[in-house]
Amino acid sequence: QVLLVESGGGLVQAGGSLRLSCAASGRTFSSYSMGWFRQAPGKEREFVAAISWTGGTTYADSVKGRFTISRDNAKKTGYLQMISLKPEDTAVYYCAAPQGSYSYRGVREREGYAYWGQGTQVTVSS
């Protein structure tokens, strides 16, 4: 069983920064891609960023240049560094992991992931 636990959310003013963490357990972390999604009230869950097992990354256009996804395989933890935050970044942020190892297929889609964390709230005030 794969368990993902996010942390690091909170309330921040516009222009501020936060770093989210996603601690993983249950399998070999280094063999799997990882993604971050977010869901604002009344909206669908949307892709934010993903990182492959080799460190390759992809981002949603709305966060490109402001957010950075990374991973520490020794700590079995993924990160999402967010700077220059905007009120429209307010959402619950989820980390996710795919079913299969060494797969980067469909990482920008919710359907590409089998495991999800419980989410962490990020609120950006104007």
Tens digit of each residue's pLDDT (9 = 90 or more) over 17-64: 999 999 999 888 889 999 999 999 999 999 999 999 999 999 999 999
Determine the pLDDT at residue 105.
Answer: 87
Determine the pLDDT at residue 4.
Answer: 96
Q: Which residue has the tokens 């222009």?
A: 15
Q: 122 and 82 in contact (C-beta within 8 Å)?
A: yes
67: its two tokens: 């957010």
Determine the pLDDT at residue 28.
Answer: 83
Give the ranges where the chain is alpha helix by DSSP (H): none
Mean pLDDT of 70-89: 97
Please list, in sequence order, all residues whose beta carbon lies within 8 angstroms of the beta carbon of residue 120, skipping any fewer than 6 positions away: 6, 7, 8, 9, 20, 92, 93
